[in-house]
């Protein structure tokens, strides 16, 4: 019995001791959580740090003439560490009203009393990352660093700021789809997307500390690992040609109330795209660039494809340009399907040269069908030998594959060959059609279109993009020569004679296609009007394609709808490109006037005129100049810039104007493109820091 009592006593003792330990643990946990909790939480936060990525400054995108197409402007998020080392009660209480007054005067978004009240409340809550303002400019930040309390020095005055880069396109509506965008969570577009890695650079690293409330704040003003900024892209675009192309396309789309259209201007020898415009009807009379049709829309091209059919037949000896064909009253029947010429009654017996000039569907469909009916694969293989069907090695994504029906598949029938000969039963983009025409203009050498000329970093060349040759020779010199003569004939006495000019020669081909409409087929009679060609015809410098989809007013034929756009752009390009003129034409063209230029930087302006062989005396000291043109030449005069007064930026380009405006602490609102024609605040007025000035460009 004594043994049993002894065991029970020991169990009770052990249980009592365990109960005491448990009570002690519970008490300690309560003490840590409720009495000392704030202390240990702060200590935990102070020991929680991490390195986070800091985005590099994204590279700029320039046109071939140096105009800025896309750039990044730094913006800052302004924060206040109210418990910073030097922000004592004495300093804060004596200076907070002055700081509030300065912030209110700069931002003009709320009263000084409101700023003061909120900063006092934040200090009472011992906030270390209080948000003062978002979207602060660099010039505003420079001024803020001189404000009371913040001027105490790096970190010590409690001023914290996080840099973010805002992407802008100074010309706004100029080739926005080609320039593109890169937005998180959205499929990248254009050059911004294609060269995201190069433009984006390499991110830096910043050490962040977690503070009360789970907020992370930077430990240091400078990054631990500096970011490597992105490289700049020098594109092939010419802003002047781009502006002309967009305006010409827009006017014609409005005139014909078309759904959408595109135009591409390419340099023959290099494949450089000098202008690319794509406009879609948003509402009646209003068009905007929402999709890159030239690169991304594959359609049945219609009669512009007859170039490929004729070239194939010439290479294979199916017919020659002198071969005569009977257009049989303008109608030919294949099975149950009729193919008609646009001219009622046809053209009678005509040579294939004339059939091309007049765009006879009957003549080409009969010749191609008769020539290849026993070996349709020979025709398809010849087309593929021209490079038709291959993907273009271009920089931007989104170009669909060309669709050509294989004769060995069920999709092929007895109607495919004759309809293919005149541009149906095949899907290809306008850019691929232009590449073929450009090859004929380039004596058979097929070069790929290209949108980027160089990559540069800090002005130093990183990479140069040379022309890419797709085919060294798409066809024989004899066949190429004959096709060039045929395309000249189209403009001289054929379907595009309305484009003929005595100043320079144009060669090309019109196209008018009926658009397939799903289950309804071609019955709804929606049209695609196009013109593709090059100029000057005798020594081609530029090739161009114009495609207008679904015109509903004032005609639908290619020569009427697309042709005038081609001619307007070609006229203006020819007039401004001295390399395409003979000596007499140059003398006539430039004798009465001198090239236009924007007011701005003196050194650059003088150098530009010197490069053109034009005297522009500037024997005076000035950073900026105004330009005066007259029949005797060009004269420059100093453009005075006085600190504290609104600068006169009328006549300047946007880049120079933005520098001067923002250097005075003002915010520029930009409308239009070109050079500045008006500013909303009169030059010479006293600068009001943070005020907005509207700049109108034309």
47, pLDDT greater than 50? yes
Q: SS3 of 191, please?
A: helix
682, pLDDT greater than 50? yes
Lowest mean pLDDT among 209-223, 399-413, 480-494: 209-223
- Strands 232-235, 61-62: pairing is parallel
Mean pLDDT of 254-277: 97
Q: Is residue 16 part of a domain?
A: no
Q: What is the CATH number of the domain that holds 218?
A: 3.90.1310.10
Lowest mean pLDDT among 216-230, 364-378, 454-468, 644-658: 216-230
Question: Where does the pLDDT of residue 523 fall: very low under 50, low under 70, confident under 90, or very high at 90 and above?
Answer: low
Q: Is residue 264 part of a domain?
A: yes
User: How far does CA 259 lie from the centroid of its chain?
Assistant: 22
353, pLDDT greater than 70? yes
Of the two residues 608 and 540, the one the predictor is more confident about is: 540
Contacts of 429 (CB under 8 A, 6+ apart): 294, 295, 296, 297, 298, 299, 399, 400, 402
Q: Is residue 156 part of a domain?
A: yes
Q: Which of 201, 235, 269 delimits the end of a domain?
A: 235
Mean pLDDT of 479-506: 96
Q: Is residue 14 part of a domain?
A: no
Q: Tens of pLDDT along 414-443?
A: 999 999 999 999 999 999 999 999 999 999
Between the two ends of the chain, the Cα-to-Cα distance in Å is: 113
Residue with tokens 């001024």: 143
Question: Where does the pLDDT of residue 590 fall: very low under 50, low under 70, confident under 90, or very high at 90 and above?
Answer: very low
CB 72 within 8 A of CB 56: no
Note whether 306 and 221 are same-domain residues: no
Note whether 262 and 208 are same-domain residues: no
Lowest mean pLDDT among 32-46, 110-124, 472-486, 572-586: 32-46
Mean pLDDT of 106-121: 93
Q: Which of 214, 235, 256 delimits the end of a domain?
A: 235
218, pLDDT greater than 90? no
Q: What is the mean pLDDT of the chain?
A: 86
585, pLDDT greater than 60? no
14, pLDDT greater than 60? yes
Pairwise CA distance, residues 89 & 96, whole Å: 10
Of the two residues 155 and 229, the one the predictor is more confident about is: 229
Q: Is residue 149 part of a domain?
A: yes
Note whether 399 and 260 are same-domain residues: yes
Question: Where does the pLDDT of residue 24 fall: very low under 50, low under 70, confident under 90, or very high at 90 and above?
Answer: confident
Question: Where does the pLDDT of residue 595 fall: very low under 50, low under 70, confident under 90, or very high at 90 and above?
Answer: low
Pairwise CA distance, residues 10 & 18, whole Å: 12
Mean pLDDT of 211-217: 61
Pairwise CA distance, residues 298 & 292, whole Å: 11
Q: Is residue 588 part of a domain?
A: no
Q: Is residue 481 part of a domain?
A: yes
Note whether 209 and 245 are same-domain residues: no
Structural domain containing residue 682: 600-697
**Residues linked to residue 469 through DSSP beta bridges, in sequence order:** 447
309, pLDDT greater than 70? yes
Element at 377 (helix H, strand E): helix 376-385
The alpha carbon torsion through 151, 155, 159, 165 (nearest 10 deg) reads 120
Note the pLDDT of residue 358: 96
Note the pLDDT of residue 221: 59
Looking at the structure of the chain, the number of domains it has is 3
Lowest mean pLDDT among 71-85, 332-346, 349-363, 599-613: 599-613
Of the two residues 597 and 585, the one the predictor is more confident about is: 597
Note whether 567 and 663 are same-domain residues: no
Of the two residues 501 and 605, the one the predictor is more confident about is: 501
Max mean pLDDT range (213-217, 398-402, 475-479, 653-657): 475-479
Note whether 627 and 656 are same-domain residues: yes
Q: What is the CATH number of the domain that holds 422?
A: 3.40.710.10
Note the pLDDT of residue 401: 93
Pairwise CA distance, residues 605 & 616, whole Å: 9
Closest to 423 (Cα-Cα) out of 264, 304, 539, 532: 304
Q: Which of 235, 268, 295 delimits the end of a domain?
A: 235
The CA-atom distances, in angstroms, between 623 and each of 25, 182, 396 are 78, 36, 40
592, pLDDT greater than 60? no
Decide: residue 490, CB within 10 A, 0-12 exposed, 13-18 middle, 19+ buried: buried
Mean pLDDT of 288-294: 95
Note whether 614 and 567 are same-domain residues: no
Note whether 228 and 281 are same-domain residues: no
Note whether 643 and 541 are same-domain residues: no
Note whether 266 and 410 are same-domain residues: yes
Max mean pLDDT range (77-86, 378-387, 670-679, 681-690): 378-387
CA torsion through residues 298, 302, 304, 310, sign: positive
Q: What is the CATH number of the domain that holds 683?
A: 3.30.10.20
CA torsion through residues 481, 483, 484, 489, sign: positive
Q: Is residue 562 part of a domain?
A: yes
Note whether 292 and 424 are same-domain residues: yes
Note whether 246 and 227 are same-domain residues: no
């Amino acid at each position: 019995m004594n043994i049993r009592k002894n065991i029970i006593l020991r169990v009770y003792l052990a249980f009592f001791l365990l109960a005491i330990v448990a009570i002690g643990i519970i008490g300690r946990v309560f003490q840590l959580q409720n009495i000392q909790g704030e202390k240990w939480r702060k200590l935990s936060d102070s020991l929680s740090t991490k390195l986070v990525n800091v985005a590099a400054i994204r590279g700029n995108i320039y046109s071939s003439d140096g105009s800025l197409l896309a750039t990044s402007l730094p913006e800052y998020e302004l924060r206040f560490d109210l418990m910073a080392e030097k922000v004592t009660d004495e300093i804060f209480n004596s200076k907070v009203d002055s700081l509030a007054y300065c912030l209110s005067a700069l931002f003009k978004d709320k009263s000084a009393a409101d700023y003061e009240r909120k900063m006092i409340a934040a200090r009472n809550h011992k906030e270390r990352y209080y948000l003062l303002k978002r979207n602060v400019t660099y010039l505003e930040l420079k001024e803020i660093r001189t404000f009371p309390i913040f001027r105490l020095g790096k970190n010590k005055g409690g001023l914290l700021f996080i840099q973010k880069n805002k992407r802008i396109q100074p010309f706004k509506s100029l080739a926005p789809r080609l320039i593109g965008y890169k937005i998180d969570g959205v499929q990248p577009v254009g050059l911004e997307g294609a060269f995201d890695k190069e433009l984006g650079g390499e991110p830096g690293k910043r050490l962040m500390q977690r503070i009360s409330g789970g907020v992370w704040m930077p430990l240091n003003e400078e990054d631990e690992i500096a970011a490597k900024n992105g490289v700049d892209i020098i594109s092939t675009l010419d802003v002047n040609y781009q502006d002309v192309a967009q305006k010409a396309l827009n006017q014609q789309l409005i005139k014909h109330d078309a759904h959408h259209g595109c135009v591409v201007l390419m340099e023959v020898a290099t494949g450089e795209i000098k202008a690319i415009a794509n406009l879609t009807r948003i509402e009646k009379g209003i068009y905007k660039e929402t999709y890159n049709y030239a690169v991304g829309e594959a359609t049945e091209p219609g009669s512009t494809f007859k170039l490929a059919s004729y070239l194939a037949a010439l290479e294979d000896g199916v017919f020659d340009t002198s071969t005569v064909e009977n257009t049989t009253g303008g109608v030919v029947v294949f099975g149950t399907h009729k193919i008609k010429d646009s001219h009622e009654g046809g053209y009678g017996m005509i040579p294939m040269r004339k059939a091309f000039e007049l765009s006879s569907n009957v003549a080409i469909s009969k010749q191609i069908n008769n020539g290849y009916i026993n070996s349709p694969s020979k025709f398809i293989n010849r087309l593929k030998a021209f490079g038709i069907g291959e993907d273009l090695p271009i920089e931007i994504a989104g170009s669909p594959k060309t669709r050509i029906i294989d004769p060995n598949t069920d999709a092929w029938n007895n109607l495919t060959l004759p309809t293919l000969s005149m541009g149906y039963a095949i899907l290809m983009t306008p850019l691929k059609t232009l590449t073929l025409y450009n090859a004929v203009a380039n004596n058979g050498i097929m070069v790929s279109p290209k949108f980027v000329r160089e990559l540069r970093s800090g002005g130093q060349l990183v990479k140069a993009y040379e022309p890419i040759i797709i085919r060294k020779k798409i066809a024989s010199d004899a066949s190429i020569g004959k096709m060039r003569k045929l395309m000249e004939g189209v403009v001289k006495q054929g379907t595009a004679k309305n484009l003929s000019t005595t100043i320079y020669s144009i060669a090309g081909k019109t196209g008018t296609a009926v658009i397939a409409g799903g289950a309804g087929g071609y019955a709804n009679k929606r049209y695609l009007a196009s013109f593709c060609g090059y100029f000057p015809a005798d020594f081609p410098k530029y090739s161009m394609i114009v495609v207008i989809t679904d015109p509903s007013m004032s005609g639908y034929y290619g020569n009427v709808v697309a042709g005038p756009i081609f001619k307007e752009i070609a006229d203006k390009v020819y007039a401004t490109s001295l390399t395409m003129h003979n000596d007499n034409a140059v003398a006539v063209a430039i004798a009465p006037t001198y090239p236009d230029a924007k007011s701005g930087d003196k050194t650059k302006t003088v150098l530009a005129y010197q490069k053109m062989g034009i005297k522009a005396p500037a024997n005076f000291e000035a950073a900026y100049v105004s330009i005066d043109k007259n029949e005797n030449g060009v004269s420059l005069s100093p453009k005075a810039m006085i600190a504290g007064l609104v600068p006169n930026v009328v006549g300047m380009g946007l880049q120079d104007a933005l520098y001067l405006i923002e250097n005075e602490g003002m915010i520029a609102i930009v409308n239009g493109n070109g050079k500045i024609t008006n500013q909303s605040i009169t030059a010479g007025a006293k600068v009001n820091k943070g005020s907005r000035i509207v700049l109108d460009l034309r």
